[in-house]
Amino acid sequence: MRTAILTASRRALGPAALLLCLLPLPGLAAAEGWLEVHADDGRLIAALPVPEGEAWCLEWNHSVAGFPVLDCYRHREGRMVLERSHLPDFAAGLDHIPGRGRQVSDGEGGYWIEAIDEPVPGNRYRLRVGSPEVNHRLLHEGRRLSLSDQAAGERVTIHLQTSATTP
């Protein structure tokens, strides 16, 4: 019985609860940098340590073609910076905007847009999390965390917390 309750509790809380275990002592998060995802109701969906210089990506499946698309960011000097994007095809809505980075082949029929280097205003942006088929997910240190498993159909805010952005 106890095992069943623990298993049910883990399932109900999901991966976000595991990430809560990584939260630092008060004041430490701001110094090192944390990527936080909050639902509109204030619920913490994810919290990842992202020290200065570290990178992460938001990956999702294209809603028409179904292949994965990537937007990759870096914590650079206290800022969330969009560095590059990977687009495996020129499908609907996926194209390079001249003057915004440079397009290079990925060698497999798709392409990277490199050197975008755009700071994200306020170190945060809003996202409507896609269905399980779209499966918005964070990629960080070789791990994937599905936001769709936690908040499909919800609006969330993805925010890099640093000493410059923490009140």
pLDDT tens per residue, range 49-68: 999 999 999 999 987 777 89
Task: Give residue 163's pLDDT band: very low, low, confident or very high (50, 70, 90).
Answer: confident
Query: Positive or negative, the Cα torsion across 120, 126, 132, 137?
Result: positive
Q: Residue 94 has what pLDDT?
A: 54
- Mean pLDDT computed over 109-127: 94
| C-alpha to C-alpha distance for 36 and 166, rounded to whole angstroms | 12
Separation between Cα atoms, residue 10 and residue 41, nearest integer Å: 22
Q: Which amino acid, one-letter code, is at 45?
A: I
Burial class (CB in 10 A: 0-12, 13-18, 19+), 102: middle
The per-residue pLDDT for range 63-90, each reduced to its tens digit, is 777 789 999 999 999 999 999 999 887 6
Which residues, 6+ apart, have CB-to-CB distance to 97 below 8 Å?
none
Reported as half-sphere exposure (CB side, CA atoms, 13 A), residue 63 has a value of 6
Q: Exposed, middle or buried, 73 (CB in 10 Å: 0-12/13-18/19+)?
A: buried
What is the overall mean pLDDT for the chain?
Answer: 80
Average pLDDT rounded to a whole number, residues 105-134: 94
Share of the chain above pLDDT 70, in %: 73
